[in-house]
Structure 1
């Protein structure tokens, strides 16, 4: 009987710890590893960053220049199940590791017009001063994007080696998983 009480005490402590860890990583704070070189020189591959999830929980609107973590699967609605399964605790067990979570910089917010012309980026007709990019873009087709309400436009700092809104379009705000804090 004493051994059962001890096992129950240990088991309930473990379950409580896992529950708290899940709550923190889903709603408050999460370490994230940068995969790929799309954010160089700002963030290097395999660099660990810490992401505040509070903005997502508090319906925060990302600001121009924020470095955000996004779910790149913009063709479908994001659910709470995704939030749960994308935590580091469960992502190691996922069979399908397509790296759907990307780290990017916010370039445009709702109502902005993003124009790419002659390998340069303009927001609402103004050329962006981007001292954070790795190198000038080359061979980028001219394009124009109007950022709809409830969405943002993101790009990697390594423009010549980045999959971003130029390819997948604007990102729904509910696909912004967090904002880099350090």
Structure 2
């Protein structure tokens, strides 16, 4: 699922805007404002001298013009005024989006029934470590993805795209998928049948199960008649040798520093089964909250 950032792909744009407005703000505070002050002082000194001479000659003047003169000289140019106003707002958005929470919009159905098309979600940017914005380099270790987490990451084949899937395997895990059932490190994952799920996009029911993966039970969907995976769609990817594919099953050992991802809509998801593992440097953050869906206000709440 290619996610749509709510603010667009703005990490670089926000950074550039913050730098430009910040430079202008600093230039005004440390240079331009002092120049305007010096110019105003000179003009006021001249005004006071002229005023004193005219007063001595018996001419009475309105001293209010002095304040107006000072205000007009000290007034910021429009381009400086707007930059100074925008800088703190842009800086705040940049910091919040880069280090705390980033909003995304769900555009497709690969994570149904957990996430629906149109869900507006918040992604926690610090649970998996503090990363430098734009280059996404981790600088402070905080934690690591756990099995069952819903994670946003840069698509390995095109890092300009953000994807969202569920973490199925962490480094060192042995993932086996056969007959649409998972086995992790030799332990079969428990599946509890649930009521069939009515597709939101067409009048079709799908099999629905509660998948009890580690400590993160969640719902998944299976389509009648669909195979465990489409072997012809499997691509070459880094560490492909860690996987063994056969007709209706596969086994993968997750390499160090990588994660195995799958969509909850199992038969309608392009994921690690096809394009491989997600390296740590591609991690964006943990999806934690649906804050709005304009088509269904009941969707607001935490992500499980």
TM-score (norm 2): 0.49
TM-superposed deviation, 1:157: 0.3
Q: What residue is the counterpart of 1:135 in the other structure? A: 222
Counterpart residue number, 1:86: none
Deviates more, 1:116-125 or 1:6-15: 6-15
State whether structure 2 residue 269 is matched by structure 1 residue 162. Answer: yes
Q: How far has the Cα of 1:3 moved from its partner?
A: 3.9
Tell me which stretches of 4 or more aligned residues in structure 1 moved more than 3 Å: none
> What is the RMSD computed on CA atoms of the aligned residues?
2.1
- Greater mean deviation of Cα atoms: 135-144 or 151-160: 135-144
Partner residue, 2:87: 15
Give the paired residue count.
160
Q: Which of the numbers 103, 109, 124 marks the counterpart of 2:170? A: 109
Task: Give the greater-gyration-radius structure (CA).
Answer: 2
Contact 1:105/1:154, CA 8 A, preserved across alignment: yes
Whose RCO is larger (CA < 8 A, sep 6+)? 1
Q: Alignment partner for residue 27 of structure 1, among 86, 99, 104?
A: 99
Match of 1:88 in 2: none
1:178 paired residue among 280, 285, 298: 285
* Partner residue in 1 for 2:185: 124
| Contact kept? 1:113, 1:147, Cα under 8 Å | yes
Higher deviation after alignment, 148-157 or 56-65: 56-65
CA distances 1:70-105 after superposition (whole Å, capped 9, x unpaired):
111x247x6xxx6xxxxxxxxxxxxxxxxx211111
Gaps of 5+ in 1: 83-99
Cα separation, 1, equivalents of 2:183 and 2:106: 27
Q: 1:103-145 CA distances to partner (integer Å, 9 max, x unpaired)?
A: 1111110100001122221111222231510226831231111
